[in-house]
Amino acid sequence: MRSGHRDVNRALLSRPPLTAGLKDFVDTAHRHGIAVILDVVYNHFGPSDLDHSLWQFDGWEQNNGGGIYFYEDWRAEIPWGSRPDYGRPEVRQYICDNVVDWLGQYRIDGLRFDMTAYIRSVDGSGADAQSIPGGLQLLRELNDVVDASQPWKFRIAEDMRNDVMITAPTSAGGAGFSAQWDPDFVTCVRAAMVTTDDAQRSMSSVAAAIERRYGDRWLSRVVYTESHDADANGGERLPSEIDPAKPDSCYAKKRSTLGAAVVFTSPGIPMLFQGQEFLEDLWFTDSRPVDWTNQTTYAGILALYRDLIALRRDLFGNTRGLRGSGLGRSPRQRRGQGARLSPVGPGRAARRHDRVAQLRKP
């Protein structure tokens, strides 16, 4: 679920039926054993969802800026809107209260924070010269508030700068997040799935992507092959990138699902992007829904993803290793021999599918 790019918070507060509806949704998900992670955006407010409740709050502004609650100098603008002034304690408190409200009143299980690099640095690079001290202070304060009141609630940073500090404890100088998105994983694994030439495929890069972690916790990263950014902004869905002419070709199916298998068998928190589980092939836009008929058209692909989830969760009691932090190497790897990722023949694919299917109960 996403909040922030649209005025979800204000809409809920002004329309009680929506508030009750969200709570009912969360409660229903919980009854089915599903946790709800909400996407929140604090790196900017507006422009389309701002009114005078915050923007130019008391009528004062400089440089046609947002007034007392927004930066009005070179730190003011980011690509998507106007940056709140994190240097003001009132602004940080406002955001921290919002975080507590989502997790408490609405019983949300965790939050995913949009582009935190733009909260702690002006250009999103994370470089010291671009730092926003108040932004990093905000990240630490909101995580400390949650740790003090609801420490079991999960907080994920989409920081995308591979900075170990993001998931380090605040007591050790970190930002205190539970996990962060791993940008190298999606880059390396997608590249391996897309290229048609084994000579251009770096298995050492794939191995490094599988083995990496932030700090000493293997659950401190989120791994994936598709996302709203990877599949938009000039990008394509993985099957379409593999075979632009025929995204549902055998080749595209095998490669894209092989990428999913790497996701579900790697240390980290696996993430799927909406529609990936039934071979959605159109690039992502929030104005077009996924094609739900694909659930029937590609029922076998959907079953494969269910199997991968079952394996990862050890639902049948024979894949407990996938829930641990350890990584093993094959005898071939231990002997120092290389590995190739080449097209899988029909026989091997069928045998693998059969082995997975045997684990599924009627």
Least confident of 169-183, 270-284, 326-340: 326-340
Q: Is the pTM for the entire model greater than 0.85? A: yes
- DSSP secondary structure letter of residue 345: P
- How crowded is residue 153: how many other Cβ atoms within 10 Å of its Cβ? 21
193-244 pLDDT, tens digit each: 999 999 999 999 999 999 999 999 999 999 999 999 999 888 899 999 999 9
* Under 8 Å between Cβ of 237 and 247: yes
Is residue 5 helix, strand or coil? coil
- Report the pLDDT value the prediction gives residue 332, as an integer from 0 to 100: 53
59-118 pLDDT, tens digit each: 888 888 889 999 999 999 899 989 999 999 999 999 999 999 999 999 999 999 999 999
Spell out the domain ranges in the chain: 1-181, 192-209+237-278+286-362
Is 1-181 assigned to CATH 2.40.30.20?
A: no
**In the predicted structure, residue 356 carries a pLDDT above the cut 60:** no
- Report the pLDDT value the prediction gives residue 48, as an integer from 0 to 100: 67
**Which letter, b or e, does each residue of 228-255 get, where b requires 16 or more Cβ atoms within 10 Å of its Cβ?**
bbbbeeebbbbbbbbbeeebbeebbbbb
Q: Residue 224 class from Cβ within 10 Å (0-12 exposed, 13-18 middle, 19+ buried)?
A: buried
- Report the pLDDT value the prediction gives residue 14, as an integer from 0 to 100: 56
247-273: average pLDDT: 97
**In the predicted structure, residue 346 carries a pLDDT above the cut 70:** no
Token digits of residue 347:
């026989």
- DSSP secondary structure letter of residue 153: S
- Report the pLDDT value the prediction gives residue 326, as an integer from 0 to 100: 80
15-71 pLDDT, tens digit each: 667 788 999 999 999 999 999 999 999 999 976 666 657 888 888 888 888 899 999
